[in-house]
Structure 1
Amino acid sequence: MALHRDDVIAAALDLLDEVGLERLTTRALTERLGVAPGALYWHVRSKQELLTAMADTVVAPAFTTPGTESGKEAETEAEAGSWAQHTEAFAHRLRRALLGRRDGARLVSGHLVPGTATLKSVEDGLALMSAQGLTPAQAAVLGHAVTSYVIGFVLQEQQEHAPTGEAAGPDPAHYPLLLQWQTEHPGPDATFTAGLTLLTTGLAAQLA
């Protein structure tokens, strides 16, 4: 069976889930695919190009709003919610996409070069928010802030946990408020949503 570029990217993402970004090598990928290095480089000219393609594949679901494949459906979807609702929905899709792959946030933060489809989705998002009262500059700043927030949040979620034991936590005698926050922590989902809401309500207040 002939090897295709999509096969290479899919295999690389599966390998990423198994070994992590640090141990992802083109040699391991060629062994997994059962091909010579030359066959791999026919589809991706370098490891950097491979990582870029992987990152673009990871974030693709975040830039696809369900039910907006046609222009008419897209218009209906755009009218169904406010710019804040659309922004928050995008942020949740992006977080799910990054969490869906081991080291997903590290991969995307270091290697994403938006492709044509992603850029078109960004342009559509800016148009939607502009139609709802934001200037293109306000929409772009919000989009950048939200994307950076999501990637940073997931980077923390996916980082290695501190070793358990006496040195793993703060001394309650020195950090009582920090210890209280850790004890009452609502969990990553609620914390993520709360931070995201701060961003959208902050812009809403500024607009008002």
Structure 2
Amino acid sequence: MPLTRRDVLDTARRLVADYGLGDLTMRRLAFELGVKPGAIYWHVPSKQALLAELADELLDSVPEPSPRKRWDRQLLQLGTDLRAALRSHTDAAELVAAGRATSLASSQLGKSVMAIVQRSGAGERQASAARDALLHFVIGFTFDEQSHESLVRHGASPARLGDSDRTFDDALAVVVRGIVASARPSAS
């Protein structure tokens, strides 16, 4: 049976889930698929392109918040749902950081944040800053969580005290309040 792009993506996703992002190599991916490494490059031009595609699929899984909610509540929901999506996959925050950190603006999720903020009356510059602040905060927070959890699993660090969910919620609220404040038209 011929190798397909879907086979490559699904196997790469499984390798990350089973062994972590650090163990995803093109050579190992080829071995798992039973092909020579060069066969992978017919379907993805590079490992970076593979990571970007996996990151896109993950980001695309984040649901759009209800448009019936106030725009600030939509941002809170989007941030919470992004974290949940990232936490549901091994090394997902690192994967998104590696695969999409420089191009979050072009992701559907990035466009959604921009649209939500612009519906508040904010201009493109404020909406762009809001997108970057929100997405980079959530990805960074979750990356820290997942990295620390890995260290704890391997006995390299003690478990953290406190409620990570509450800490996230509180910090996300601070970020969104900052976005709300910056989206207001300034009084001249």
> Which band: TM-score by shorter chain?
0.7 to 0.9
What CA deviation, in whole Å up to 9, does each residue of 1:36-81 have, x standing for no partner?
Answer: 323221101222221221122222112x427xxxxxxxxxx43x01
Q: Using a 3 Å threshold, how does the CA distance of structure 1 residues 91 and 49 change in structure 2: closer, same or farther?
A: same
CA shift, 1:129, in A, is 2.5
Q: Which aligned pairs between 1:110-149 and structure 2 lie closer than 5 A?
A: 110-112=98-100, 114=103, 118-119=107-108, 121-149=109-137
Q: Cα–Cα, structure 1 residues 97 and 7, in superposed 2: closer, same or farther, change >3 Å?
A: same
In the TM superposition, residue 102 of structure 1 has moved relative to its aligned partner by 1.2
**Alignment partners' CA distance in 2, 1:151 and 1:4:** 30
Is contact 1:129–1:139 with CA below 8 Å preserved after alignment?
yes
CA distance in structure 1 between the partners assigned to 2:95 and 2:158 by the alignment: 27
Task: Indicate the residue corresponding to 2:174 in structure 1.
Answer: 198
- C-alpha displacement at 1:146, in angstroms? 0.8
How does 1:1-208 map onto structure 2 within 5 Å? 1-62=1-62, 64-65=63-64, 77-78=66-67, 80-112=68-100, 114=103, 118-119=107-108, 121-159=109-147, 160-161=150-151, 168=158, 185=162, 187-206=163-182, 207=184
Q: Residues 20 and 102 of structure 1 are in contact (CA less than 8 Å); yes or no, is this contact kept in structure 2? A: yes
Q: TM-score normalised to the size of structure 1?
A: 0.74
- Using the TM superposition, name which of 138-147 and 33-42 deviates more: 33-42
Corresponding position of 1:71: none
* Structure 2: segments with no counterpart, 5+ residues: none
Change (3 A) 1:95 1:198: same
**More moved, 107-116 vs 26-35:** 107-116
Runs of at least 5 residues in structure 1 that lack an aligned partner in the other structure: 67-76, 170-181
Shift of 1:10: 1.2
Compared with structure 1, are the counterparts of its residues 202 and 151 closer, same or farther at alpha carbon in structure 2 (3 Å cutoff)? same
Distance in 2, matches of 1:117 and 1:141, equals: 14
Alignment RMSD: 2.8
Q: TM-score when scaled to structure 2? A: 0.81
In structure 2, do the counterparts of structure 1 residues 123 and 8 end up closer, same or farther at CA, with 3 Å as the change threshold? same
Query: How many residues were matched structurally?
Result: 180
Identify if the C-alpha distance between structure 1 residues 164 and 24 changes in structure 2 by more than 3 Å, giving closer, same or farther.
closer
Question: What is the one-letter code of the residue matched to 1:65?
Answer: E
The whole-number CA distance in structure 2 between the counterparts of 1:111 and 1:122 is 14
Partners in 1 of 2:9 and 2:105 — Cα distance? 17
- Same amino acid, percent of matched pairs: 32
Give the structure with higher Rg (CA): 1
SS of structure 1 residue aligned to 2:121: coil
3-state SS of 1:190 partner: helix
State the Cα deviation string for residues 82-119 of structure 1 (Å, max 9, x = none). 21111111111211221122111111112216599834
